[in-house]
Amino acid sequence: MLYVLLPAYNEEKSMQSLLERFKKLFAENKIHYLIVVVDDGSTDRTAETVNGFNNEINISLVPHPYNMGLGAAMRTGFDYIAGLSKPGDLILTMDADDTHNPSIVGDMIQKIQKGKDIIIASRYEHGGEEIGLALHRKILSLGASFLLKIFFPIEGVKDYTCGFRLYSADIIKKAVDKYKENFITHNSFVCMAEILIKLSYLGVKVDEVPLILRYDLKQGQSKMKKIRTIFRYIHFIFREKFKSDKNNQ
């Protein structure tokens, strides 16, 4: 079973297109799946759009009462799926803004079946690219991954911040059981780095596939606050590094 976790906040404009692409992809490849949309307190018609697919695809809507942040949506989604998944199942996570192309999911599944625990769709793997992303955003993402790799080197990882990933459901269940409420403590975009680094402590095997990020297709506004995100990454790096060094003493 492939579980698709889509955290969404005001993605009405892109959700229709994304779900149509998944519908076509899964029908053509005969993939057994469940799409889980965590609606993070949207004020537009995101929920109505998702519910409109109830009779067309296998989909579940998990609502938040108000906007709680990406990390909270990931936490809700992982907890929900961990309660359903069985050994050997997979969990795909990706943005719901239509900037991630589901067509590479087949390549990701093939790679994870070669003994890996996580496959990252990477902008920095050979063949990867960012289209339509402002220069300062490119610098922020690249700089964050560069610093994270220095402080938390993980074999096979170049892109620490992209949310387009395929996980073994077994490793997510293991992390949920081990860390409990401390698995994902950051509700901002920093949560994606936090998830990867905490999974690395469990000895995961990671590989990447190239991702062409199509930011030019994004229809809604970015939810990222640039300056705040920079400081949050710095805070996370030093807090997590200090905690890691202290635990190793």
CATH number of the domain at 128, please: 3.90.550.10
Which residue range is the domain that position 9 belongs to? 2-248
> The pTM is what?
0.92
Cβ count near 78 (within 10 Å): 26
> Phi/psi zone of residue 53: left (φ > 0), alpha (ψ -120 to 50 degrees), beta?
alpha
Q: How confident is the model at residue 197 (pLDDT cuts 50, 70, 90)?
A: very high
> Phi/psi zone of residue 12: left (φ > 0), alpha (ψ -120 to 50 degrees), beta?
alpha
**Region 125-147 average pLDDT:** 87
What's the domain count of the chain?
1
**Region 106-135 average pLDDT:** 94
**Region 78-84 average pLDDT:** 97
Range of lowest pLDDT (184-188, 217-221, 226-230): 217-221
Q: Which position has the higher pLDDT, 140 or 90?
A: 90
Average pLDDT, the chain: 92
Q: How confident is the model at residue 92 (pLDDT cuts 50, 70, 90)?
A: very high
Q: Helix, strand, coil % (nearest 5) of the chain? A: 45, 20, 35
